[in-house]
Structures are given as C-alpha cells and as structure tokens.
Amino acid sequence: MRPLSAAQVLALWDAGQTRHPIDRALLALALAMPEEAPDELADRPVGWREVNLLALRNATFGSALDGYAPCPSCGALMEFRLDGETLLDGLPTPDSNTRIKLDGQQWRLPSSRDQAMILDAPNPETAVCWLLDRCRIDEGGLTDVPTVNRKKSPKMKTSPALVGELESHMEALDPAADIRIGMQCADCGDVWSAALDVGACFWDELGNRAHQLLESVHRLASAYGWREAEILALSPARRAAYLNMIG
C-alpha cells in the first residue's frame, strides 16, 4: 500500500468533512486503490475495508498507533499504544465469496453498504435483524436485500440461538470487522475488551496532518509567494528545510 501524498491528504480531509465515517473510509480507499472500482468497494466485507484502511494508515502515518478508550466502570480515559504493522500481520483479509450455511440457509459476510443501510435502526437488536436479513442469500444464489417496507417487518425470522451462531461464524470468518484490544484501567483496575475503530484513528491522524500541511502552505506562500500545489509537491524534507529558513 502506497502512502497518501500531501496533496491527497488535503483532498481527502476536505472531501470528508461532512461525510459519514463509513463514506470517509471508502473515499480513502478509492483514492489509495485507483485500480479498484469505487462502486465495488462498498460491497467488500467490512473486514476487507478495515484491513486495507489499516494498511493505508500504517503506510501514511507510520506503525505507531496511539489512542485511548474510556473505562466502562469508572469512565477514566486509558491510553494505549499499538504497533500497526504487527496488528495488520495478525488480521486475515476475508474472502468476498465466503458463505455461511446454517439451518438450510446461506449468508454472506456483511459489507460497508450493509452497515450504511442499517444506520437508522431504532435499536441494536433491530439493527442485527436487518443486517442478517440483508446478508441472507436466496435459493437462486442472490442476496435477499430487504426493501424499505421490510425494514418495518423483516422477512427473515430467526431464533436467538441461530442469530448467536451466525454472529459467531461471522466474527470467526472476518475478525477484522470488530478488532478488539485488551485494556486495564489504571484507576480502578477493571479489565475489558475495547473496540479499535481504525477509521476514527485514521481520520484523527489525517486531520492533524492536514492542519500541519495547511500551516506549512500558509507560511511558505506568505514568505515566497508560491502556490499551494507547488508547496505540496515538495518532499517533506525540502518543505521542512524551507520552513526552518524562514524561522
């Protein structure tokens, strides 16, 4: 995975300001993977998106991944530091053609498009029902995507046991869709498993880098009269050298 250029960082940051986090992630991958059809990115498994976004994040910002998670018991924010490359090496990339067969039915792995379509679910239980309904494959081998009316009364009726079994299979086949890290609170001692939001980490780092670039553009343009494109085309080392010269 190639790192984003300075111009790409600013373009992505600008374009993603009003987008949902799912759209931001897909925009980043469309920019970094021009060989992929943009419309097809949303139909890849969620874990595929997360693995490739992590690879892009590592290439652009380095392997050190810092963040924090609130303790579920006392609310204190606990910092963590991960090695992004080590984390990436332990995450398999799921196959889009993977099928789960249970109770005489078939399901595929959830995609970014599926996630986007259940954002307005009134509660987590309904969201799970809608998601599994979207991922169910009919007898003809096609995904049985629900219509708006089906959202009010999902077609697929599943027992809690079947839902639990499906979720377990999906987690095993696509672990990158829900990355967990072990945490312990230094204040109260509670131990828990925190979700790692790769997209949120990536966007925070992208925002920091974008503001650094904007400041560099402002200073160099003011000092030399250069255009933004000319400044962004400079290598990081040359930009830094010029910034040091102007103090």
Question: In the chain, what are the domain boundaries?
Answer: 6-68+82-89+199-208, 99-173
Predicted local confidence at residue 86, as pLDDT: 96
Predicted local confidence at residue 182, as pLDDT: 93
Picking from 143, 159, 150, the residue whose alpha carbon sits closest to that of residue 97 is: 143
Sorted by sequence, the CB contacts under 8 Å of residue 162 that are 6+ apart come out as 102, 103
pLDDT along the chain (247 residues), means of 10: 96 96 97 92 97 98 94 94 96 94 93 96 93 86 48 57 92 95 93 95 97 97 97 96 94
Sign of the torsion formed by the C-alpha atoms of 16, 17, 18 and 20: positive
Distance between CA 42 and CA 37 in Å, rounded? 10
Asked whether the beta carbons of 194 and 12 are under 8 A apart, the reply is no
Predicted local confidence at residue 143, as pLDDT: 56
Question: How many Cα neighbours within 13 Å face the side chain of 144?
Answer: 16
Question: Any idea which residue has 């000092």 for tokens?
Answer: 223
- List, in sequence order, every beta strand (DSSP E) within 71-190: 77-83, 99-102, 105-108, 136-137, 180-184
Q: Which two tokens stand for residue 65?
A: 């991944």
Q: Which two tokens stand for residue 11?
A: 């373009």
Picking from 22, 25, 29, the residue whose alpha carbon sits closest to that of residue 2 is: 29
Residue type, 21: P
Predicted local confidence at residue 149, as pLDDT: 41
Distance between CA 228 and CA 6 in Å, rounded? 11
Q: Which two tokens stand for residue 6?
A: 């300075």
H or E segment at 65? strand 64-70
Predicted local confidence at residue 147, as pLDDT: 42
Predicted local confidence at residue 204, as pLDDT: 96
Picking from 54, 84, 59, 63, the residue whose alpha carbon sits closest to that of residue 198 is: 54
